[in-house]
Amino acid sequence: MTVQTQINSKMQEAAQSGFLSWTVTVDHKRIGILYLLSASLFFLLGGFEALLMRIQLAQPDSRFLSPDLYNQIFTMHGTTMIFLVVMPLAAGFGNYLIPLMIGARDMAYPKLNALSYWTFLFGGVFMYSSFIFGGAPNDGWFSYAPLTEKLYSPTHGIDFWIMGILLLGFATTIGSINFIVTVIQLRAPGLTLTRLPLFVWTMTVTSFLAVFSLPSLTTAVLLLFLDRQLGAHFYNVGQGGSALLWQHLFWFFGHPEVYILILPAMGIVSEVIPVFSGRPLFGYPAVVFSAIAIGFLGFTVWAHHMFATGMPSSALLFFAADSFLIGVPTGVKIFAWLGTMWKGKLRFATPMLFAVGFVAMFLIGGLDGIHLAVVPVDWQLTDTYYVVSHLHYVLFGGAIFGIFSGVYYWFPKITGRRLQEGLGKWHFWLMFIGMNLVFMPMHILGLEGMPRRIYTYSPGRGWEIWNFIETVGALIIAVAVLIFIVNFLTSLRKKATNEADPWDGFTLEWKTASPPPVYNFAEIPSVRGRRPLWDEKHPDQADWKAGE
């Protein structure tokens, strides 16, 4: 042992015990856990905000929240769920799992990894501190200019939003570069790109999307910062600025962002469904290719968020056509999941329930999205509750269900204990029913002419009954989340069983102990196929023999 490695191992020991050790850790697994826990707390905050909105809208002409507070709440709900929940949850899984799945000892840049997490946490706390410093951001998660100019949004809410977004963008960018380098550089021997687990693939595509789309958001908010603080006029129409410049810059980030949110969940589902069907993923190359195709197409559709802004027909048709095309790789994925289950031997443990729920619900979000890509229909439905419904079928029925599938699936790996199946089933079914009660009637409200982002509405437009049902659904989701919390806390107090491979898994993370040691693998495994553990358990039917 050289002096340097001795010092390193001493530092590692010091970094492993005690509460404070969590603040200096550079272990990818501990950073992953920090990400998952912090994002879960933000999930509770964002969910609480959703409940407040649903209570406000449960009846017409409600005065439960003031208009000002309602606007802050819906802005923070969207900002939270996107930047502080779904993105960091994916980052948490990525951090914890990617080194394990590719047979590495850590991420490529462990210290950058810690920087990324702490910047994210600070960005989130900073944004929320605006509630005590004079008012939260209040112009929606996409904060359209010129409403965000100082003249129209004089409180510091938008300034908090700008700084928060810059911090979170920075955290995501370095995190993404770390993922990309890790996947390119640190794969175990034999783990070629064509053998990578799907979750690793989708996280890699996600990371590329983030690296290439975030600069546009950074530019957009920096220009806004200059407008607000230094009197520039990029978006200030009176002084020759452009109102639509913001929308182009924002959505050039904002649409890839949608795939940043959903691709990791697709990756999780693509891990869970094969394991619980006892089968390899059906058409692996096509699924990988479809993830990459979604990544590329995601950069060419941003203006479908702007169909009503007065664009020329040629531009409208270009963006409509590209948006339709995204349906093709998305369809490939859905059919691949069905193909994987077809004549498999399905085991319905909770991870599988959430994965199947993902497929069933995400399908709805894909199909109602067609209406929003069809220009003349979008002219009717954009900025209504139809959009709110669509995006929640994708982000709640999709991303959140996928993430819960992952939580139930990898909880035994992270803690050495399973979550309880009975409570898990209650959680799943209540959430499934609750989400459909909340989000299905939103389709009808959108068709009935209810715009999004209104803090109240008048009776007599046929909107009352659906709004009321939605609030009931939201309460059911809240109960489901409570059940999950109970499950989480009580399962943690149970005696650890430390099963290395509780689900009869396929990928390398199940090869090591639960929880894994700091160094992950005593010996770096070598890989001959896409399912190294399957090959080990079924040498006669090994994938590499079947010529995958």
Q: Is 341 among the residues that bind other proteins (CB under 8 A)?
A: yes
Q: Is 96 among the residues that bind other proteins (CB under 8 A)?
A: no
Q: Is 280 among the residues that bind other proteins (CB under 8 A)?
A: yes
Contact with other proteins (CB under 8 A): which of 25, 277, 350, 405?
277
Residue (57 or 407) nearer to other proteins, CB: 57
Residues 6+ apart with CB under 8 A from 185: 108
Residues 141-170 that bind other proteins (CB under 8 A): 144, 146-147, 152-153
Sole window of 6-14, 78-86, 193-201, 318-326 interacting with other proteins (rule: CB under 8 A): 318-326
Q: Is 66 among the residues that bind other proteins (CB under 8 A)?
A: yes
Question: 298 is written with which tokens?
Answer: 């995601």
Packing angle, helices 87-101 and 28-57, rounded to 10: 150
| Nearest approach, Cβ of residue 41 and other proteins (Å) | 28
Q: Is 315 among the residues that bind other proteins (CB under 8 A)?
A: no
Cα of 323 vs its chain's centroid, Å:
21
Q: Is 194 among the residues that bind other proteins (CB under 8 A)?
A: no
Contact with other proteins (CB under 8 A): which of 201, 208, 252, 282?
282
Give the x-and-dash track for 447-486 against other proteins (CB under 8 A).
xxx-xxxxxxxxxxxxxxxx--------------------
Between CA 440 and CA 393 the distance in angstroms is 9
Q: Is 237 among the residues that bind other proteins (CB under 8 A)?
A: yes
Contact with other proteins (CB under 8 A): which of 25, 71, 507, 512?
71
| Nearest approach, Cβ of residue 37 and other proteins (Å) | 33
Sole window of 38-46, 140-148, 215-223, 250-258 interacting with other proteins (rule: CB under 8 A): 140-148
| Nearest approach, Cβ of residue 326 and other proteins (Å) | 9
Between CA 433 and CA 477 the distance in angstroms is 8
Contact 145, 249 (CB under 8 A): no
Residue whose C-alpha is closest to residue 410's, from 532, 499, 490, 280:
499
Write down the H helix ranges in 186-242: 198-230
Question: 89 is written with which tokens?
Answer: 């949850």
Residues 427-446 that bind other proteins (CB under 8 A): 444
Q: Is 298 among the residues that bind other proteins (CB under 8 A)?
A: no
Does the CA dihedral 96-99-101-105 come out positive or negative?
negative
Cα pseudo-dihedral 487, 425, 349, 474, rounded to 10: -90
Phi, psi dihedral angles at 58 (to 5 degrees): -60, -30
Residues 363-392 that bind other proteins (CB under 8 A): 363-364, 367-368, 370-371, 373-380, 382-384
Residue type, 54: R
Place of tokens 């590499």: 544
Residue whose C-alpha is closest to residue 83's, from 511, 537, 395, 499:
395
Residue (154 or 517) nearer to other proteins, CB: 154
Contact with other proteins (CB under 8 A): which of 97, 356, 388, 481?
356
Write down the H helix ranges in 130-197: 157-185
Residue (39 or 291) nearer to other proteins, CB: 291
Q: Is 347 among the residues that bind other proteins (CB under 8 A)?
A: yes
